[in-house]
Structure 1
Amino acid sequence: MLKNTLNTLKVAILFVSFTFFSCKTASPKPVKTADSQNQAIISKDLKWSDKMALTLMKRHPESWQIDDSKAAKWDYVHGLVLYSFEQLYKKNPDARYASYVQGYLDALIQNDGTIKTYEIQKHNIDMIVAGRLLFNAYDKTKEDKYLKAMQLLRQQLTEQPRTQSGGFWHKKIYPNQMWLDGLYMGEPFYAHYTVTFENGKNLDDVAHQFEQIQLHATDPATGLLYHGWDESKQMPWANKETGNSPNFWSRALGWYVMALVDALDYFPKDHPKQKELVGYLNNVSESLAKFQDKSGLWYQVTDKMGKEGNYLEASGSSMFAYAFAKGVNKGYLPSKFKKIANKAFDGLTTQLMKVDADGTITLTQACQVAGLGGTPYRDGSYEYYVNEKKKDNDPKATGPFILAALELNR
């Protein structure tokens, strides 16, 4: 009797053990919580583009939080960074990247095509660039709201005040002024839109924007372009003869070369203005190459290398690396610019990069913001540019860094 009881007990224990281990083997992996994602290690073997993207996602779980935003807003920095995510997704179709971009659009594009926080009446050309994200969203879903949102931004360009010579004002509050920044903010979207929906009928107008800034803002001595041009020559920062601001700012020049390589995506080779734009890109690139520091980087004030207070700056250097690499890859620039771009990228990753224990990365020495005029007044002086605040992983650096990494396959 006792023997039978012991045998039964053994069988029961074996059954329970077998069930326990069977269940353990078959059980699904635990669902990742936000906390577990935040604790995830970013592998050192990943490409720099993925490292930066995953860093941003880890530090800003919602894409509208980029730039430490406290609420969702339609903004150029989100447009820039999330465009880099779109390009990354093409090379590495990780669903998290597409989802991150979509999250931004979900937060801001309403069912009737209106855009939360966007105010068309301000005629701020900075607000156009995030519209580049809408083309892909519309292609994928054919949802009317994305088309209507694009049409709304196109309406702004139709109504955008212009200089007498036909260049878009930077903002309504900055009359008669073109800034280099504005070429990136407006022209790639404008070119993409007119090719997609208007049979390219306004490509001449896109080219005209570059023609105007090239004609008026280029310095004949260095070949560099000044940050801003005031056609009226009324602004205190404007040269009374030329209307130009007094200094060369590397990020403004970065916006300009990125605007050229991105807008050129939509110009057919046989378009009469295509060669002209490629010429502008070659001219400014040759000029910029002369001011590259031995570290591979460029200074905040481009031509004042080594002057007290000046510093090697991350956003402009990332933008040049991207534009030069893409320019070579697209056949616009001679191959030597790929070497220049790689040297710049080496400078970014060895001189300005910090790597944390969890594998996240931080790009340092990025100017946070700079402009002309406004309140408090910004005079465009050397002292003004070198004393503006810096911000680690500023989106004006991280977006172009991802784009440069992709073009260089780093």
Structure 2
Amino acid sequence: MLDVSHSIPVDVAAATVQRPFDLSVETTRRLGQFGLQVPDFLTGYFRSWTPYRPYWNYEDGVIWKGALDLYLVTRDPALLDYVLQEMESRILPDGSMPTFLPREYNIDHVNGGKILFPLYAITGDERFRKAMDVQFAQLKDHPRTKSGNYWHKQIYPHQVWLDGLFMAQPFQASYARITGNEVLFADTVAQFSSVDRLLKKDNGLYFHGWDESRAERWADKQTGLSQNVWGRSMGWWIGALVDVYEASEGFSEHLRDEIARITRDTLTALLTFRSENGLWYQVVDQGDREGNYEEASASAMVAYGLIKAARMGIMGKDVSDTGIASLHAVCDRFVTPGALNGICGVAGLGNVPYRDGSYEYYLSEKITPNDPKGVGALMWALSEGVRVREPQ
């Protein structure tokens, strides 16, 4: 059975305080440009935050990345201290990671490792450098499809989900850079190119998943593809692209150009399906269908991709302006002092109870306030928004 239990408060403003946490006056001012409720919400969220699961997991990693992204633009010590406190029991002085479960061959477990690179750069602490090798060890023998892509999980053999590109590839690109291994970066580019070839729909968006074996009930028997374009999977995909491009600075321009091309094509397609409110739907390309809704985490992730792609020169300033407008729309529509609303708690393919990838399935998943996938994405987008509003 899927374990999606958690202890996220529905209203963080009224939740039990787990830790002291106060943003600086300057950070509060800068985040308040996107709505006065935004810094209040984040303060309450961190005060009431508890780990999503006891082991090294992607949900907590999404929040850690968000906190560090904001720290890098605000230099607010509260954000860095939060992450460092979490690492005290997760990264030991010798670099070992007692809560990391590499032999599960779950690509999600790699996501948290992204924070090791900024932590090492900020602190110079060798335990973070050693932990990179521990994290990468999973990828050395992680099973792959014949197309060369990492399996999504050992329990989902022969499958590639868009989510998995976000979980592993920014870490792999960063590891390639710190070790000077351009062959490893070339492998990352090849995995993106493979997905671009195999999972792309005629309208420029991507199906959520692909089963090379065609064994799953959700997979088309001819193509292996799932049925629909899920909003957050597109968010994971665009987040992976812009993060890999940033991490690959200094490597082959030919390889980086391929990432930039896929990024431009993806964002151009996504802009076609942007709602009149500046947001993106749970099932992205069926916005006019009954029951569909504008979803917070996907919208925040796409806003992040738009603003960051423009900052890195992949796309023009007009795209940044659109991303900023969408970030404002997310904050105005979904953020209150106590909650980030409108988040699809979880969605996937297969498993028990069986998730068939149908339109009805994606609409049936519970909307979960304050889920880390949405809160983390909001922080990524806010970090880019602050950069644009007040360049360093």
Answer yes or no: same fold by TM over 0.5: yes
1:158 pairs, out of 140, 148, 151, with 140
In 2: Cα distance, 1:185 partner to 1:35 partner = 28
Q: Does 1:55 align with 2:55?
A: no
Identity %: 34
Deviation, 1:141, is 4.4
1:181 maps to which residue? Answer: 163
CA contact (8 A) 2:31 2:39 kept: no
> What per-residue deviation string (whole Å, max 9, x for no partner) do you get for residues 202-237 of structure 1?
1110101101111100012x1110000111111110
With over 3 angstroms needed to count, the CA separation of the structure-2 counterparts of 1:190 and 1:296, relative to structure 1, is same
1:235 pairs, out of 211, 216, 228, with 216
> What per-residue deviation string (whole Å, max 9, x for no partner) do you get for residues 224-276 of structure 1?
10000111111110111111100000100000000000000132374321111
With over 3 angstroms needed to count, the CA separation of the structure-2 counterparts of 1:213 and 1:56, relative to structure 1, is same
After TM superposition, the structure 1 stretch with the greater mean CA deviation from structure 2, 242-251 or 330-339, is 330-339
1:368 pairs, out of 341, 345, 353, with 345
> What per-residue deviation string (whole Å, max 9, x for no partner) do you get for residues 53-94 of structure 1?
66345344376x15xx3x643111221221121121122112
With over 3 angstroms needed to count, the CA separation of the structure-2 counterparts of 1:156 and 1:39, relative to structure 1, is closer
Q: Does 1:341 align with 2:323?
A: yes
With over 3 angstroms needed to count, the CA separation of the structure-2 counterparts of 1:272 and 1:41, relative to structure 1, is closer
CA contact (8 A) 1:62 1:100 kept: no
After TM superposition, the structure 1 stretch with the greater mean CA deviation from structure 2, 152-161 or 74-83, is 74-83
1:244 maps to which residue? Answer: 225
Deviation, 1:337, is 1.4
In 2: Cα distance, 1:301 partner to 1:158 partner = 34
After TM superposition, the structure 1 stretch with the greater mean CA deviation from structure 2, 53-62 or 317-326, is 53-62
Aligned pairs (5 A) from 1:3-402? 45-48=29-32, 52=38, 55-61=41-47, 65-66=50-51, 69=52, 72-220=54-202, 222-267=203-248, 268=250, 270-354=252-336, 360-402=337-379
With over 3 angstroms needed to count, the CA separation of the structure-2 counterparts of 1:161 and 1:122, relative to structure 1, is same
CA contact (8 A) 1:195 1:201 kept: no
2:4 maps to which residue? Answer: none
With over 3 angstroms needed to count, the CA separation of the structure-2 counterparts of 1:35 and 1:81, relative to structure 1, is closer
CA contact (8 A) 2:111 2:167 kept: yes
Q: Relative CO higher for 1 or 2, CA cutoff 8 Å, sep ≥ 6?
A: 2
In 2: Cα distance, 1:332 partner to 1:285 partner = 10
In 1: Cα distance, 2:62 partner to 2:20 partner = 25
In 1: Cα distance, 2:365 partner to 2:265 partner = 29
Deviation, 1:117, is 2.7
* Unmatched tracts of structure 2, length 5 or more: 1-16
TM-score by length of structure 2 reads 0.87
CA contact (8 A) 2:143 2:150 kept: yes
SS in structure 1 opposite 2:182? coil
With over 3 angstroms needed to count, the CA separation of the structure-2 counterparts of 1:270 and 1:37, relative to structure 1, is closer
In 2: Cα distance, 1:41 partner to 1:302 partner = 37
After TM superposition, the structure 1 stretch with the greater mean CA deviation from structure 2, 77-86 or 286-295, is 77-86
TM-score by length of structure 1 reads 0.83
With over 3 angstroms needed to count, the CA separation of the structure-2 counterparts of 1:95 and 1:287, relative to structure 1, is same
With over 3 angstroms needed to count, the CA separation of the structure-2 counterparts of 1:53 and 1:369, relative to structure 1, is farther
Alignment RMSD:
2.5
> What per-residue deviation string (whole Å, max 9, x for no partner) do you get for residues 263-319 of structure 1?
001323743211111111111111111111100011100011131111110000000
CA contact (8 A) 1:229 1:238 kept: yes
CA contact (8 A) 2:239 2:305 kept: yes
Deviation beyond 6 Å, 4+ runs, structure 1: 38-44
Number of equivalenced pairs: 367
SS in structure 1 opposite 2:356? coil
After TM superposition, the structure 1 stretch with the greater mean CA deviation from structure 2, 135-144 or 146-155, is 135-144
After TM superposition, the structure 1 stretch with the greater mean CA deviation from structure 2, 334-343 or 313-322, is 334-343
In 1: Cα distance, 2:59 partner to 2:146 partner = 29
In 2: Cα distance, 1:41 partner to 1:83 partner = 19
SS in structure 2 opposite 1:145? helix
CA contact (8 A) 1:53 1:402 kept: no
User: Which amino acid in 1 is paired with 2:44?
Assistant: K
Bigger radius of gyration among the two: 1
SS in structure 2 opposite 1:229? strand
In 2: Cα distance, 1:397 partner to 1:269 partner = 32
SS in structure 1 opposite 2:254? coil
Deviation, 1:407, is 1.5
Deviation, 1:395, is 1.4
> What per-residue deviation string (whole Å, max 9, x for no partner) do you get for residues 343-382 of structure 1?
312221222222xxxxx35221110000111111111111
CA contact (8 A) 2:226 2:357 kept: yes
* Unmatched tracts of structure 1, length 5 or more: 1-33, 355-359
Deviation, 1:112, is 3.7
In 2: Cα distance, 1:101 partner to 1:153 partner = 17
After TM superposition, the structure 1 stretch with the greater mean CA deviation from structure 2, 313-322 or 260-269, is 260-269
